[in-house]
Structure formats: C-alpha cells, structure tokens
A and B are shown apart, each in its own frame.
Chain A
C-alpha cells in the first residue's frame, strides 16, 4: 500500500510540486526527492537535531514533520541559508573555531544557532548551551561550537 499525496511548497525560494508518499518525512523529501543533501537524517525520532530545518520561519525537526503536511509551506535549508549569505558569519566562525569535526551535526547546529541569534541577539554562554541542547554533536565539540556562536553574537553587536 503506497498512498501518495500531492504537495506544493516553497523550498529555498523555489516553488516545488511533487507527489509524495504519505509517510515521507521532510528530511527524506529534501534529500531523496529534491537532492538537497545538506540536511542530515540522524536518529529519525527527534532526539539528535541533525535534521533541523526552517518551516515558515521557525526551526523544526525535519524527521518529525511529514512532507505531505507541508502544502503551502515555506521551507528553508542549509543550502538556502548558505546561498543568501544570511549565516555567512556563523559559518566562518565555525571554520575559524574548528567547530565542525565530522560535520554531521553542523547544518542543524547552524540553523539552531541562527534561530537563537534572531530571537536573542545577546545570549549568555548558558543561553547558547540551552538553545543548542537539542542538537547532539557526537564528536563532542561543544565548546568550539559555543565559542563560535558567542563570537558571532558579539561581532553582530559590534563587540568583536
């Protein structure tokens, strides 16, 4: 039994129409149907955060959202945020601080960090830790990641 649903949504500014299997989650839709491999499928049950993407401006777990439910939605992924330059400073700080080791968690970390800096432009280290607590880094490079986010927050506030 394979039951398909027609959806039309916007992905990184481009309108996309597809028929998807009802059980297809957003990350598989992005990776397998659209070829956008930047969002990673990790645990596939909402624990690890590697699949974090934006839906209608808010970060979500891509593995806990059905593509079928997103008719009319606006989805943004690491590819889109990279192309627009919106998070260039975060990406550069991650490189400068060596905050990406294997890199598997990095797209989700960047999306979550961007979300934090949008809602809380002057976070403390504790607030950075708290906001990123739902994103696992199994290389355990957390200090470097928090350093990178803190650096960008200070730079954006002219305190670099």
Chain B
C-alpha cells in the first residue's frame, strides 16, 4: 500500500526542528531513519499531516565519551553504533546486539533514538538500554531532562516522552572491570523481531555472580527487568541449582500474552532457556548459541 499524502520539511538544527514541529500542527510527526515509521504509514496505521525530517540535525549526530559514559546521539544509525570504537571497547553488549537488529539494509538507516522512541517491546535496544541502566536525554524547545531507561518505557509502544519532546541522545555507562554481558534471542528468521530475548550483564568475582541484571524482551509490553530471577542469582555460583532456581523464579514474574508464536507458557519456556544460556555464556561455560 501507499502512504496517505503528507507534507515534508527538513531541519538541519535542533532549533529549526522545534520551530518546524511547532508550526506543523498536532498531526505532524518527526522522521528520523523512518524504518518503522514509513512502514506504518504504508499500512495507513497513521496519517500525519507533515513529516519533519530530523535525520540531518547535526546536534543528534555522533558518539562521544562523556565521563564514565558513552553518549550516543539519537540520530546515530545501528550500523554506525556497531562499528564505533568507543562502543566496541566500552559497551560490548551494544556491539553484540547490533547484528541482531533487523537486517544490514535497515541498520544502515534505522537510528538508536528512533528505536527507543518507537518502544517496540520485542526490540533489542530498549532492553539493552534498561540492562545497561542508560539515561535517555529528552529535549523540548525549552528544556532538557534526563530519564533513566528503566522509567522511560511505560507500555506497549509508549514512553515517558512528552508530546513536545524528542530524544537528543542516550548515555550508556561504561562497562566496569570484570563485567560480562550478553544478548540472546529467539526469532523465526535472523533479523526478525524476537519471539523472546534477554539482555544481561553480571560481574564475576572469583566464581560468584555479583549484581546480575537480566532484562527480557518480546515477553511483555515493555522491557522486563527480571527482579526475582536476579535475586536468585545474586552472590551465587553458576551451578545447575542456581540456573534452576533462577529459571523457576523467572517463571513467576513473566506474563507474556499468547500470540502466533505460542501460548504464554511456551514463551516463558523460551525465556527460561535463554536465561540459562545467558548465565552459562557469561560464566564462560559456553552453550550452543540460541537458534
């Protein structure tokens, strides 16, 4: 199908973007990489009056170190994220996640800010942002505010952004010494949205698992922090009993809905299997990579 007609304007600075946005009326939408938006327009799921193209806004570009964090501009594409040296050195979870995001042609245009703002519950980057305790930097024409990723996602395709705010950047804390991380997902076709997935990190001291953080995607209306499973892992060693206890705890805190991929119990099963694989992988007890 073809999108309904709309107007198109391009901004090259944030000031210009906010000015065009305020003049565009309530039905105007921002266009970044367009990899989700243009597909939804083709389906006529929405019919905006105007698109304001922010893909060339200079303030949204670039990746830089900001103290103990790496600041990723909202307009950075997935492909740029994956090949950036700061990301590869300091944010191994993100570097590992990039090849799982869609396909090469989509990664060349889709943006980090766009993925977070779209807030698909089965997407990789929202879960990574929550797992890494990133901070979303939201901007309006007047002000900037910092929103912890765990509070940013408020439901299905819903975020804490106000109607006049956009994402300017995301700050990801640099991985600490001794920290391990991984991301695993189950998908019908490589690059599709996950049926179930987990973004995880943990610090390994001696053989003890310290500060585990497991965030599941594709199994709820937003990224799900597996608090009970994390509590079952914290301070323990990677033994069969630890894995089993964490998997049992996880089963009590995930509430996926039934869909074409399976019943809630099937999806909890996928999540439990991924939890076990992620734990073993981070502990260096590699199991076969998730299918």
Contact = CB atoms under 8 A, between A and B. Distances in A.
Interface of A: 1-3, 5, 21-23, 25, 28, 44-46, 49, 52, 55, 58-61, 63-66, 68-69, 71, 112, 115-116, 129-131, 133-135
Contacts, number: 94
B5 interface: yes
Contact of B5 (A22, A112, A130, A134): A22
Closest 9 CB pairs of A and B: A134-B103, A22-B8, A45-B39, A133-B190, A58-B108, A23-B3, A59-B105, A68-B8, A3-B7
B60 to A, nearest CB: 15
A1 B5 CA distance: 7
Contacts of B8: 3, 5, 22, 66, 68-69
B6 A3 contact: yes
Nearest to A4: B8
B189 to A, nearest CB: 6
A69 B35 contact: no
Nearest to B10: A69
A110 B39 CA distance: 23
Contacts of A63: 38, 42
A150 to B, nearest CB: 18
Contacts of B7: 3, 22
Nearest to A62: B105
Contact of A133 (B34, B35, B189): B189
Nearest to B1: A44
A49 B34 contact: no
A44 B190 CA distance: 20
Given A131-B104, A133-B189, 16 more contacts: A3-B7, A22-B7, A22-B51, A25-B3, A28-B2, A45-B43, A46-B106, A49-B105, A58-B79, A59-B105, A60-B105, A63-B42, A66-B31, A66-B38, A68-B8, A115-B105
A45 B42 contact: yes
Interface of B: 1-8, 10, 31, 34-35, 38-39, 41-43, 51, 53, 55, 79, 99, 102-106, 108-109, 189-191
B191 A23 contact: no
Contact of B108 (A3, A28, A60, A69): A60
A65 B109 contact: yes
B6 A64 contact: no
A69 B5 contact: no
Given A3-B5, A59-B105, A64 B79 contact: no
29 contacts: A3-B5, A3-B7, A22-B6, A22-B7, A22-B51, A23-B5, A44-B1, A45-B43, A49-B105, A55-B108, A64-B38, A64-B39, A64-B109, A66-B8, A66-B51, A66-B53, A68-B8, A69-B53, A69-B55, A71-B10, A112-B104, A115-B104, A115-B105, A131-B104, A133-B189, A134-B103, A134-B104, A134-B105, A134-B191
A55 B33 CA distance: 13
A121 B190 CA distance: 21
Given A23-B4, A44-B1, A65 B103 contact: no
A31 B26 CA distance: 34
A59 B1 CA distance: 22
Nearest to B37: A64
Contacts of A112: 104-105
B96 to A, nearest CB: 14
Contacts of A116: 104
Contacts of B53: 66, 68-69
Contacts of A2: 5
A45 B106 CA distance: 11
Nearest to A67: B8
